[in-house]
Amino acid sequence: MQTRPTANTTRQVADLLRSLNQAAVTTHVGPDGDAIGSAIALMYLLRSLGVKALFCHAEAMPSYLGWLVPSEPLEECPPGYDVLVVDTSRSDRIGAPHEEAVRLNLDHHEDNPLYGEYNLVDPDAAASAHIVAGLYTELGIALDKKTAEAIYTGIWADTGGFRFRNVSPETHELVANLLRAGVVPAEVYDRLNRTGTIEQLNIVGVSMANAEHYGEALISVVDEDDYERTRATELDSKDAIDRLRSVSGVEVVGHLRQVEEGTKASLRSERVNVGEIARALGGGGHKLAAGYTTRKAPQEAKEELLAALKDVVDLGSGTN
Ligand code: AMP
Ligand code: MN
Ligand code: MN
């Protein structure tokens, strides 16, 4: 049996960063605010240390996060660059091809199998960006405004705008320092939330209209017809997940989106370990925010999810 590699300390990782010459920073597929925020903050940290650092990602940046990225990401990690991965629970979810092994795996997913040579993984951190902030402190490097905005975005994203159960006094203490470094929350909020399109608005509306109530579960399915009707994409529809959490008595929310391979699912809860459910269905994530992709078409995927939820929550009479 392979032994589980031991996680490293912030000090050990700070020493590693100081020893690098050139580094490629990357993050997970389907990047969110924490993925890009923590990657960019780590890239700036490396540059402050005199390391030649690049951000690499094969996919286009989501439009609401483009402002964080100072220059077009490289589509692959260049050979000879140390590969540093942030916010990525498994190595098969890394969003840029890389020849070199993963030198650093910096993350906060509790199911992270420590796939890097160095691993800085703290499941108690609300966001990977918080772990990057800890490296700034360890290395005694002051936060400038653009770094503080990147870290703030990561924390904002993974706490649902400071609403989720992962918010702690430490979260707000860090945010106080980010504001001292120049972050203006209203400015960041506008960049993140007032840059949408009518297509996104419409598919979010369709996602809400498609929601079905099964006792303590609420599931919304969007398929190709919905994309066609709204001229939106799967990614546009993902914004709906937090809007589906408003119904009283609901313990688990599922948003199922048709994709080429089958169906992509996002699960959210305030109490139920949806990470376990997502893992059972081939995905992963956090206890209260998780996801997976199944080969099943959307309606079958809904049945599969309901079957997985049957023993976990009360599905009522099975109809809405
Ligand atoms: P999402 O619903 O896509 O916002 O994802 C919520 C959480 O679940 C994130 O932490 C993701 O990293 C994780 N997650 C989503 N899809 C997958 C998947 N297919 N495999 C493993 N983890 C996933
Ligand atoms: Mn993420
Ligand atoms: Mn994260």
Task: Establish if 213 belongs to a structural domain.
Answer: yes
Domain boundary pick from 150, 166, 192: 192
Residue 301 confidence (pLDDT) above 60: yes
Confidence of residue 123 (pLDDT cuts 50, 70, 90): very high
Q: Does one domain contain both 95 and 186?
A: yes
* Best mutation site among 34, 38, 93, 277 for ligand 1 pocket (most ligand atoms within 8 Å of CB): 93
Confidence of residue 317 (pLDDT cuts 50, 70, 90): confident
Confidence of residue 5 (pLDDT cuts 50, 70, 90): low
Could you identify the atom of ligand 1 that is nearest to the CA of residue 30?
3
Q: Does one domain contain both 98 and 167?
A: yes
Task: Establish if 314 belongs to a structural domain.
Answer: no
Residue 61 confidence (pLDDT) above 60: yes
Q: Convert the pLDDT of each residue in 187-211 to its tens digit.
A: 999 999 998 999 999 999 999 999 9
* Number of domains making up the chain: 2
- pLDDT score for 65: 97
Residue 3 confidence (pLDDT) above 80: no
What's the average model confidence in pLDDT over 155-180? Answer: 97
Share of the chain above pLDDT 70, in %: 97
What's the average model confidence in pLDDT over 241-258? Answer: 96
CATH number, domain with residue 152: 3.90.1640.10
Q: What whole-number distance in Å separates Cα of residue 26 and Cα of residue 94?
A: 7
Q: Does one domain contain both 181 and 228?
A: no
Q: Does one domain contain both 186 and 230?
A: no
Over the chain, what is the mean pLDDT? Answer: 96
Residue 1 confidence (pLDDT) above 60: no
Residue 253 confidence (pLDDT) above 90: yes
Closest ligand relative to 289 C-alpha: 1
Task: Supply 318's token pair.
Answer: 């099975």
For residue 292, the enclosing domain spans: 198-309
Task: Establish if 5 belongs to a structural domain.
Answer: no
What's the average model confidence in pLDDT over 148-172? Answer: 97
Residue 318 confidence (pLDDT) above 90: no
* Crossing angle of helices 33-48 and 128-139, rounded to 10°: 10
Buried-exposed string 58-95: b where 16+ CB fall within 10 A, e elsewhere: eeebbebbeebbeeebbebbeeebbbbbbbbbbeebbb
Task: Establish if 4 belongs to a structural domain.
Answer: no
Closest ligand relative to 256 C-alpha: 1
Regarding the beta carbon of 289 and ligand 1, being less than 6 Å apart is answered yes
Give this prediction's pTM.
Answer: 0.92
Residue 221 confidence (pLDDT) above 60: yes
Radius of gyration (Cα) for the chain, nearest Å? 20
Residue 319 confidence (pLDDT) above 70: no
* Crossing angle of helices 169-180 and 145-158, rounded to 10°: 150
Q: Which residues pair with 101 in a beta bridge?
A: none
Q: Does one domain contain both 149 and 235?
A: no
